[in-house]
Structure 1
Amino acid sequence: MPKTLFELPLPIRRMPCVVSNRNGKAPSKGRRLNATIPRMRISILSVALAGLLLSAGACSNEAVKDPPSILLVVIDTLRADAASAYGITEGTTPAFDALAATGQLYTRAYAPSPWTLPSHASLFTGSPIDDHGVGLHGQVVLPEDVTTLAERLRAAGYQTAAFSENALISPVFGFEQGFEHFSVRTAEEQMAAKQKLVIDVADELARWLEARDPERPFFVFINLYDPHEPYVVRAENPFLPASATTENVRQLKAGLRTSHFICERIPPARQLEILHGLYLGEVASADRKLKAILTLLGDQSASGLVTVVTSDHGEHFGEHGLLDHEFSVRDTVLRIPLVVHGPALGPAIIERPVELRDVTRSLLTWAGADASGIAAAGLAGNQDAAPDAPASLFALYSDTRMRLPPTFDSASAQQVRDFKRQGCSATDRVFGDMVAVTRYPFKLNWYERYPSELFDLSRDPGEQAPQQARHLEVFSILEQQARQFAARTGLAGGQAQERLSPETEEALRALGYID
């Protein structure tokens, strides 16, 4: 008989420790650190040492004497297999790969949502979507009453600065909370330029570094937007098909937004290959910016620099008849790259599933800052979980996220909602709310309008062959969790939509999220 979810062999575990909040209370139950032995990469000893270092940092509930400076980089829309450190694609991300070679590379990191705002909100707060609310029922602005990572670090003495190439990650959407400096081009500026107009991150960062207080540790957040559509058609791009010339690409208009070319409108394989090549060229462009950023910050912190590079979501390139990153909770848009690098972190490949809010918890721990109220386990793991109780990771797609509130114009709202899906039918599974529950190796996709599906990601990472008939017990458990999550969050029409302000509506429209 096939093994059930709870009979699967567990990877090697670290020595247990309880992570306490500053008030002395242990947070809610989390997960153990499950770092499996990597293949042909590092020795058993180096994995063990890396785990001990991580655990030591996670267990400390005392103020850190010399807290490290922190660099947190989100490469927008970067799916995990597009980073060459993971061995699927070659040569796209040498700067990311260099961090991975001497740092902690996570092979199963997940975003809580397939789009920018909810994922950043979880990263900035350490909270799940059902707590902060961004991405649910049309809510797109981070509430003022949440406490952000930047606010916690600033209270701990950090100098805080943000540099965002994505106009969604801006004060318009509430993401300035806790930052002393915030640099971003507005959506209105991008609309006026009629192109992907972004700040010069390296230049802005260099000027900020010249003026900063060298006696204080810093927290720098950066969003690099290159891999997000529309793609730049570059004179040189080694990732395009060998037979594709620049003129071919321009004639195909592959550099324009393609999010409505889905389902029966999906482009032919040749055009999908060109689109993917353009995307990889943008990934490489973001990585070059990452190298420049790392060069600027290399000698800026006497107490060392902790660097985290990750993403907010992935991207479709024809999988399941989809492009862009809408209408889906597939792993293609939820599985993201994650590397953590720092002076006390030895090299390791970590296969334990983690999520973006775990990053928040660990950064606060390493900084000696207040992490009270954050239930996330952290990258090092909250080690008081029972060994036979692996945690489920939840992600959601709320189909109300780009609806204009009916108070604006209900007829227009219906047109906006369905324009991109005019070529889709029920068999495409793109309508309604969706929830993904990942309990590796199993993943369940719950749909408001369609039957749920279960996949074994270890055998079927592309989610092509549903397995619910073979694993009925697992299917029953995960589907029940998905239904409970949907009910708790008010999915499937459970709550009224949040009204968009004209300013946020225009910003979403300028970036292609509203047609």
Structure 2
Amino acid sequence: MGENETRKPDAGSSTTDVTPATSPQAPDTRDPSAPPQGSIPPPPSESLFELVAEAAFVAVATALLGSIPAALRVARAGGSFLGGWIVSASVVVPVLVLLIYLSHAAGRGFRMLTGQGAGRSTALGLALWAGLLSPVLMFFSSVLKEKTNHRGLGGATFGVVALALAILMALVARRLVSAGRGLVERGASARAVAVGFAAIAVGPLLLLSLPLLRHTDTGPHAAAIASALIDGLILAVATAVAVSFGLGDDLRAKARRIGLPTAGAFVILGFGLLTMSQHLGLALRSGGGLAAALLGGLERWTDRDGDGAGALFGGADCDEGDPRRHPGAIDIAGDGIDQDCDGVDGAPVAKHDSGADVPAAAAATAAADTKPAAVPLPTTRPSIVLVTLDTVRADWTSAFGYKDPTTPRLEALAKRGTAFGAAYAPGSDTQRAFIHLFSGRPLEDTAKDRREWPTLKDENITVAERLKDAGYLTAGVSSFQWISKERGFAQGFEQFVEVFEEDHPERGTTGPQAIRAARAFLEKTASDPKPVFLWVHLFDAHSEYRKKTGFDFGKGEEGAYRSEIGFVDKQLGDLIDAIDASPRAKSTAIIVHGSQGEAFDEHGSTGHGKDLHAEVLHVPLVIALPGDPGGGRRLDASAVSTADIPATIVALGQASPEGVTGSSLLSLARGEAPGKREPVYARASKRFAVIDYPLKLILQERKGRDRTLLFDLAADPGEKRDLSEQRADDLNRLSALLRERFKLKVERDPD
């Protein structure tokens, strides 16, 4: 063959074509203005209107898919499924339009760096990764929360396993993308592959949202937050899948013609339905989720009078110029003003000859009788209001000697009753400081599960149950997530309000909401002849500390903490005012106490839960009984425990005391001579304390020798001088009491 001829391959050769280097080249017919081969083409000549219209079309479709769980929750809460679906989708459409438009712009820039097609493949991979990883992590975290009591160990375990799962799901997502690309290259429909990937990415999240349909509470609590997160994940994953695949030329052309009008009409329809149906808005809020959260933010943005409720975007405030009128406000009966915005005023009020306010209907009934009667109030069993001031130490309250007026309302209440100047919590950790108030027994003797924050078991006979069985109306108001219906604390309460649903207790403020709920219960039961038992939990003195306006008691964390105490005292005063203005004013016993204190490095620790010194154990306690003519008593030389409160309440209510531990303080509150009382005990982790006033012993278990500290509280209330060496007899006596009480080992040589 000649030099310029093409040689046919040999039969056994794998080469199908060989072109000699000297063969003539075909003429270059490419457009000189075209970009070099392999480069990224310039941006298409698309107007902003066309791109936004396309994004709007995709946003409507994505919103309708992602809003199905929200619509199901609305239907579960008593609203219309179709209305909930339209409103939920219309709320998120504007957000999705912006995200999709930005994703197109970002994708263009990304492909300029990584090559044509990489942007969509990456977006699809991320969508699959998020869709697969999210439900796996949520399932693992729920199992870990249920099985692990130690928060530090649980957090570390979650971090390690979550990292491994993230890597594993990334590999799975990559393999899926490669498999999908292979299917398309072999002739499979790209649209069918897209639908399959959408089901893989979004399906597990939709299934994960189904258990949330069981929750229909009315506040943004944990279930509502979870709903919002899952809604957001569904929409994010669906959006990522949508932008990973092109619409096709015909569908894109239609989208650019009708996208914006469709989205605009859809949003107008949704907000129109929301405006016309207050019930639909309430059902949407009740179901929770992303749309509910967005509407809540928009409503608060329109709240001009600062009462926490707006008149737009589903809000039901009936007077934006008056902060006293809003949903949830106390509606004063018969004043002609609809304070709670429910469309009607409360029943008119008539004055009985006793001076008490009674509803007009009751007054009319009384007028028909020969002898009108006021609301009958119990004469032997008083109503009982128990107020727990979370994390309030006694020595920084002016009611118990602090130099600045941090607690004037508690001082005023003490003048009506008895102030216990030597009251102590049974422990500085929250669990020991609270659980006896419900079970009537110490933490160790309460039936509960084994978690760090335990659930009360049904076999407990709670204090509220005892009073309910004795004929009381019972209600509780909790401001902390652990003390919840879910954890068994509502047992025996006919009404149990969890105000931590309305604001995070450690990052926000819950006191006004707690008082509002308590006042609503008192108002609701004002005409009932039964006595009431009401427990109110005021949490705001707990960390994180924030200085409150009008309560300036120093600088730094300590000043902010005292400011919180002053703010809590103000809430207490509002509650006392409500009681004093009610028909039960002269028949209500009020008990106010601190749960435990708070340390600020007085003895090398901060916060509470670790130590047993005075700053965390010594708490305020005031008991004001109805009809007490000799109020203003102060008992400083008799140590008592807040563990005695359940026995006191049971004695006041003449309920069954069987199984309730502690000693009733009723005789002391009535002014009887104190006499000799049993020592008071407290404990924390490997620390134990006994107070036989004025002496207090703290014992700390150690591997070598136990450490003991002995203090004379009358001479040294700040516990600065250890008397262990000077008073060996007292040390040995109190050590024996501690070891017998807590079943400790026989004492070795003390430090």
Aligned position for 2:688: 435
Q: What one-letter code is carried by the residue in structure 2 that aligns with 1:376?
A: G
Q: Give matches, 1:183-202, under 5 Å.
A: 183-186=497-500, 190=504, 195-196=508-509, 200-202=513-515
CA deviations 1:281-316 (Å, max 9, x no partner) are 101111111111111122231761100000110011
* Separation of aligned partners in 2, 1:473 and 1:157: 50
Aligned to 2:683, the other structure's residue is in SS state: strand
* Separation of aligned partners in 1, 2:476 and 2:572: 15
Instruction: Decide whether aligned partners of structure 1 residues 377 and 235 sit closer, same or farther in structure 2, where only a CA change above 3 A counts.
Output: closer
Q: What is the number of equivalent residue pairs in this alignment?
A: 355
Aligned position for 1:364: 650
Aligned position for 1:333: 616
Aligned to 2:603, the other structure's residue is in SS state: helix
Aligned position for 2:566: 284
CA deviations 1:20-41 (Å, max 9, x no partner) are xxxxxxxxxxxxxxxxxxxxxx
Q: What one-letter code is carried by the residue in structure 1 that aligns with 2:684?
A: Y
* Separation of aligned partners in 1, 2:511 and 2:402: 29
Question: Contact 1:116/1:313 (CA < 8 Å) preserved in 2?
Answer: yes
Aligned position for 1:309: 592
Q: What one-letter code is carried by the residue in structure 1 that aligns with 2:607?
A: D
Aligned position for 1:55: none
* Separation of aligned partners in 1, 2:381 and 2:676: 33
* Separation of aligned partners in 1, 2:457 and 2:667: 28
* Separation of aligned partners in 1, 2:451 and 2:715: 35
**One of 504, 518, 528 as aligned partner of 1:205:** 518
Question: Contact 2:695/2:710 (CA < 8 Å) preserved in 1?
Answer: yes
Question: Contact 1:162/1:221 (CA < 8 Å) preserved in 2?
Answer: yes
- Shift of residue 394, structure 1, vs aligned partner: 1.0
* Separation of aligned partners in 1, 2:679 and 2:424: 11
**One of 387, 393, 401 as aligned partner of 2:680:** 393
Question: Contact 1:434/1:447 (CA < 8 Å) preserved in 2?
Answer: yes
- Shift of residue 138, structure 1, vs aligned partner: 3.8
* Separation of aligned partners in 2, 1:228 and 1:134: 25
Aligned position for 2:413: 99
Question: Contact 1:166/1:198 (CA < 8 Å) preserved in 2?
Answer: no
- Shift of residue 375, structure 1, vs aligned partner: 4.0
- Shift of residue 175, structure 1, vs aligned partner: 1.5
Question: Contact 1:112/1:122 (CA < 8 Å) preserved in 2?
Answer: no
Q: Which has the higher helix share?
A: 2
* Separation of aligned partners in 2, 1:324 and 1:136: 24
Instruction: Decide whether aligned partners of structure 1 residues 388 and 98 sit closer, same or farther in structure 2, where only a CA change above 3 A counts.
Output: closer
Percentage identity across paired residues of the two chains = 30
Aligned position for 1:469: 725
* Separation of aligned partners in 2, 1:185 and 1:146: 24
* Separation of aligned partners in 1, 2:482 and 2:744: 27
Question: Contact 1:166/1:224 (CA < 8 Å) preserved in 2?
Answer: no
CA deviations 1:244-274 (Å, max 9, x no partner) are xxxxxxxxxxxxxxxxxxxxxxxxxxxxxx1
Aligned position for 1:484: 740
**One of 314, 317, 322 as aligned partner of 2:605:** 322
* Separation of aligned partners in 1, 2:679 and 2:482: 29
Unmatched segments (≥5 aa) in structure 2: 1-377, 669-673, 746-751
Aligned to 1:470, the other structure's residue is in SS state: coil
- Shift of residue 203, structure 1, vs aligned partner: 2.2
Instruction: Decide whether aligned partners of structure 1 residues 181 and 362 sit closer, same or farther in structure 2, where only a CA change above 3 A counts.
Output: same
CA deviations 1:408-459 (Å, max 9, x no partner) are xxxxxxxxxxxxxxxxxxxxxxxxx111111111111111124122111112
- Shift of residue 187, structure 1, vs aligned partner: 7.4
RMSD: 2.8
CA deviations 1:305-364 (Å, max 9, x no partner) are 100000110011120122111310111111110111122333211231111122221222
The reply to whether residue 225 of structure 1 matches residue 510 of structure 2 is: no
Q: Give matches, 1:375-414, under 5 Å.
A: 375-380=661-666, 390-398=677-685
Instruction: Decide whether aligned partners of structure 1 residues 147 and 133 sit closer, same or farther in structure 2, where only a CA change above 3 A counts.
Output: closer
* Separation of aligned partners in 1, 2:566 and 2:495: 27
The reply to whether residue 349 of structure 1 matches residue 630 of structure 2 is: no
Question: Contact 2:507/2:544 (CA < 8 Å) preserved in 1?
Answer: no
* Separation of aligned partners in 1, 2:462 and 2:623: 20
* Separation of aligned partners in 1, 2:448 and 2:538: 21
Aligned position for 1:87: 401
Q: What one-letter code is carried by the residue in structure 2 that aligns with 1:477?
A: R
Question: Contact 2:548/2:567 (CA < 8 Å) preserved in 1?
Answer: no
Question: Contact 2:423/2:621 (CA < 8 Å) preserved in 1?
Answer: yes
* Separation of aligned partners in 1, 2:725 and 2:608: 29
Question: Contact 2:422/2:618 (CA < 8 Å) preserved in 1?
Answer: yes
* Separation of aligned partners in 2, 1:72 and 1:388: 26
Aligned to 2:535, the other structure's residue is in SS state: strand
Question: Contact 2:479/2:500 (CA < 8 Å) preserved in 1?
Answer: no
Instruction: Decide whether aligned partners of structure 1 residues 91 and 303 sit closer, same or farther in structure 2, where only a CA change above 3 A counts.
Output: closer
Aligned to 2:455, the other structure's residue is in SS state: coil
* Separation of aligned partners in 1, 2:611 and 2:493: 32
* Separation of aligned partners in 2, 1:462 and 1:136: 35
Q: What one-letter code is carried by the residue in structure 2 that aligns with 1:350?
A: L
Q: What one-letter code is carried by the residue in structure 2 that aligns with 1:487?
A: K
- Shift of residue 136, structure 1, vs aligned partner: 8.8
